[in-house]
Amino acid sequence: MNIVIATSEAVPFAKTGGLADVTTALAKALQDLGHEVSLFLPYYPQKYAAGAAADLPLASTGHDVSVPVGGKKRGGRVLRTSLPDADVSVYLIDQPLYYDRRELYGENGADYKDNCERFTFFSRAVMEATRLLDLRPDILHAHDWQTGLIPALLKLEYGRTSQFAQTGSVITIHNLAFQGQFWHWDMALTGLDWKHFNWREMEFYGHLNLLKTGIVYSDFITTVSPTYAHEIQTKANGAGLDPVLLHRADRLIGILNGVDMSQWNPETDPYLARNYDSQTLATGKAACKADLQKRLRLPQRPEVPLVGMVSRMTDQKGLDIIAGCIDAILVKDLQMVFLGTGDANYESFLTTLAERHPDKVSATIGFNETLAHQIEAGCDMYLMPSRFEPCGLNQMYSLVYGTVPIVRAVGGLADSVVDATADNLRSGIANGFSFVEYHADALLATVKRALAAYQDQQQWRQLVATGMSADWSWQRSARRYVDVYQHAALRRTVAWYRAHPPEET
Ligand code: ADP
Ligand code: GLC
């Protein structure tokens, strides 16, 4: 199939979270399955220059787009590169006014005020570039609110042209907490008729809602784990969009993310003090642990349990329940390392904690890809007590790296971590620790269980081996996406033939 993926972030060009890992890994896995993939994202020059993409050659396609944004026309260059070590074409939409900024979505805790305009432009630019490049995709695959307008543009404008007549659309929801909601006057930016600003289409309690728009207009909707697909159809977890999702339940599918083994693999990871596999885990992890303790100026004690966390520091990630039991956790003999950025109050909570417990806690505030890998490899346990978690990648990275996850059983965490109950241990399926109630006491009890299990080296080795031996690669998930694409494309083809019956002779 011929697939166009549109996203606001992708590794190694720009990343704030798991979305970036997923879009790139999916594109590569689809290409490996024999499909043709074009990946579109904005050209953020500051991120491009600072990251691992800096050395990739960037060429002009010779095409410029010019699209309506509100009352004006805005132009942009279409640049081209490809994914490192993969034959996936990457098209970058260059418009410095919108994307030559320090960050992707906002600075100092505040979103950029023109985010609706920035991503409306991007969505229109993707459609226009796809037309100019004559890609004629079978599928347009949008991700999150930033590209939520694309399925609407396909249905209401481009789908009427022969180039797009048989193109199906899919939107993937990575996180319902971010919906791209803007005041109603921003509807004018989209260039679509105001008649679509109603509760069945683009309007949501008086606001423009770009994620809702994507959900309403896509042929299929996917989200990043089967459990999250169920959760978001409930009032408790639907973030207000549960009625819309229930309405489209027959088109909503949960597909668990995978692990990009070219990026996250302890055997080949270039950031580690020593590479290892399941056979050499003991010596490999010991070397990575000693290296991590040294780097973070923690006492180099091989026997002490080392617990890690790499995360956006937001309400989603369970930092409030960590705060609720951290003193009781730190009574125990263990070390903890935190890496993240986000809400100022969580950042200062962690910084203060590290200052108070210099021998036990390390907190690094910032975004640091290298350290993230070193934490996954060097720790014995990984903490992810999320309030909600559409999929979560770090618990899967942990499993691959022989680092036992301690998670709350929600969303993708429930779909990937099997609690070390007596039954699960006996049947050899346990790979971590989980709890259900979102409460500091439940987290504390689970951390204590994990620390006790750590003392039983035979049981611990079994947990680690179960996690490391599972197949977390993208191939399986990519095949499920192809199934969805085929259904979507087929629906469009049937619709096209219905609209163009053969002439009677
Ligand atoms: P989310 O997308 O909700 O942030 P995921 O678990 O899906 O959560 O993915 C997070 C990704 O971002 C992982 O690859 C993780 O290692 C990375 N990450 C998050 N915060 C940081 C940070 N401060 N430094 C480096 N990598 C980070
Ligand atoms: C979102 C979710 C996370 C998921 C990621 C990639 O950021 O918060 O759970 O793993 O997207 O799909």
**What per-residue confidence (pLDDT) applies to 178?**
97
**What per-residue confidence (pLDDT) applies to 495?**
84
Angle between helices 210-217 and 149-156 (to 10 degrees): 50
Is pLDDT above 70 for 505? no
Q: Cα separation of 257 and 25, whole Å?
A: 9
Is pLDDT above 90 for 499? no
pLDDT in tens, 157-183: 999 899 998 999 999 999 999 999 999
Considering only CA atoms, give the Rg of the chain. Answer: 23
| Distance separating the N- and C-terminal Cα atoms of the chain | 33
Residue 494 confidence class, pLDDT cut points 50, 70, 90: confident
Q: Is the CB of 393 under 6 A from ligand 2?
A: yes
Q: Is the CB of 392 under 6 A from ligand 2?
A: yes
480-497 CB burial, b ≥16 within 10 A, e <16: ebbebbeebbeebeeeee
pLDDT in tens, 186-221: 999 999 999 999 999 999 999 999 999 999 999 999
Average pLDDT over residues 247-255: 97
**What per-residue confidence (pLDDT) applies to 463?**
97
Q: Is the CB of 18 under 6 A from ligand 1?
A: yes
Q: Is the CB of 315 under 6 A from ligand 1?
A: no
Distance in Å, CA 30 to ligand 1 centroid: 23
DSSP state of 437: S
Is pLDDT above 60 for 368? yes
Q: Cα separation of 40 and 8, whole Å?
A: 8
Average pLDDT over residues 230-238: 97
Distance in Å, CA 16 to ligand 1 centroid: 7
Nearest to 131 by CA among 4, 218, 258: 4
| Main-chain dihedrals φ then ψ at residue 140, nearest 5 degrees | -105, 120
**What per-residue confidence (pLDDT) applies to 498?**
85
**What per-residue confidence (pLDDT) applies to 238?**
97
Residue 504 confidence class, pLDDT cut points 50, 70, 90: low
Q: Cα separation of 80 and 91, whole Å?
A: 5
Q: Is the CB of 341 under 6 A from ligand 1?
A: yes
Which residue's CA is the nearest one to ligand 2's atom 7? Answer: 18
**What per-residue confidence (pLDDT) applies to 501?**
79
Query: Pick the residue with more confidence: 497 or 191?
Result: 191
Is pLDDT above 90 for 85? no
**What per-residue confidence (pLDDT) applies to 5?**
98
**What per-residue confidence (pLDDT) applies to 317?**
98
Average pLDDT over residues 465-478: 95
Least confident of 29-33, 141-145, 160-164: 160-164
| Proportion of the chain above pLDDT 70, given as a percent | 100
CB 125 within 8 A of CB 189: no
Is pLDDT above 90 for 412? yes
| Proportion of the chain above pLDDT 90, given as a percent | 93
HSE value, Cβ hemisphere, 13 Å, CA-based, for 424: 14
Q: Is the CB of 32 under 6 A from ligand 1?
A: no
Testing ligand 1's pocket by substitution, the residue of 394, 416, 474 carrying the most ligand atoms inside 8 A of its CB is: 394
Is pLDDT above 80 for 503? no
Is pLDDT above 70 for 373? yes
| Mean pLDDT across the chain | 96
Nearest to 24 by CA among 474, 483, 482: 474
Average pLDDT over residues 274-294: 98
Average pLDDT over residues 383-407: 98
Q: Is the CB of 19 under 6 A from ligand 2?
A: yes
**What per-residue confidence (pLDDT) applies to 75?**
98
CB 192 within 8 A of CB 152: yes
Distance in Å, CA 390 to ligand 1 centroid: 13
CB 326 within 8 A of CB 332: no
Average pLDDT over residues 424-446: 98
* Torsion angle, alpha carbons of 284, 86, 119, 235, to 10: -60
Q: Cα separation of 118 and 312, whole Å?
A: 23
Nearest to 310 by CA among 362, 353, 387, 352: 362
Is pLDDT above 90 for 497? no
CB 336 within 8 A of CB 361: yes
H or E element that contains 374:
helix 369-378
Testing ligand 1's pocket by substitution, the residue of 257, 311, 389 carrying the most ligand atoms inside 8 A of its CB is: 311
Pairing state of beta strands 72-82 and 59-69?
A: antiparallel
